[in-house]
Amino acid sequence: MPDTFLPLHRDLLDPQVAELGELAARAGLVPADPLRLPLAGARDAAERYHLFLNGPALPADVREVETVGPAGPLRLRLIRPPADDGRKDGKCLPVLIYFHGGGFVLNSIDTHDRLLRLLARHSGAAVCAVAYSLAPERRFPHQRGEALAALRWVVRHGAGHGLDPERIAVGGDSAGANLALGLALDARNEPGPPLSFGMLLYGMFAHDFDTESHRLFGGGRYGLTTERMRWYWRHYLGHGGIARDPAAAPLLADLQGLPPLHVAAAGLDCLRDDSLRLAQRLEMARSPHRLVLHATLPHSFANMTRHVRKAEEAVVLAAGEVRRHLLR
């Protein structure tokens, strides 16, 4: 059975989230709405809003590398824990390959800077953040190919950068969780050691809007809307895309043979049921997993850690699971 945590008061927004919204509004910032802005304007608004959320950079050893993706260069950002975390033996660190959220259309490794540094700090692993291509300039399945290219780079070249190619986890939030789960599926057929772990935060796992969470939260009271999710999927797949292709919607894939997974759902999120249904399917496939429902938090809570205590606790919990599986 999955290890499941269902906190009480599941219909109440954490007050610090509401305070954060008011604080951002006073600063003249609102979350980017791509349905009401030109795409370039929405992307710029997302970067500025997340710059506010991130605040001053947390200490970390950060460097950039480049590999070859399916159609050109692919940038990777390596974030190692602070030098004072006690790991001074020169040995290779385990690595978490991470994919940012944003509906495949918005955001970047810069918007997720604080989150990436927190994950490195609390997991004790290096984080390899993947600057994958955005839609609609590049559509599915291009991003799946870039994810696999990142994994192959870590396996073949990671040791030269202090990364242990035999202790690899994958992770992501929202659309990034889709890519992380897809990579875990692809890695089953890759040569070399198997993946050790997967961390999936409020994932975008299926092109399905007929769920209870979409009915409850899709109107936008807590941020993300069903209308916006339809727009993201359309930009990712294109008008001729096959929405029920398991490579695009990994909830529909064969989920056997996966590494242990940490599945975190936001309770006040139209995508909540994507994670709950994934946990059900993992149970049917007898794939080890832990489901955690953060009942009072909305979508994108992992980017709110500077202001929302429960969001930081959720990220620290997920990072602790990475540590438990990689630093044995």
Structure tokens at 210: 């007929």
Spatial neighbors of 111 by CB under 8 A, at least 6 apart, are 46, 47, 50, 51, 54, 100, 102, 303
Residue with tokens 């997991």: 123
Distances (CA, A) of 31 to 21, 133, 152, 203: 9, 21, 34, 19
Beta-bridge mates of residue 251: none
Active site residues: 174, 269, 299
Q: Cα(296)–Cα(7) distance, rounded to whole angstroms? A: 8
Max CA pair span of the chain? 53
Residue pair 194/187 in contact by the 8 Å Cβ criterion: yes
Task: Say if CB 122 and CB 320 are below 8 A apart.
Answer: yes
* Calpha distance 147→39 (Å, rounded): 24
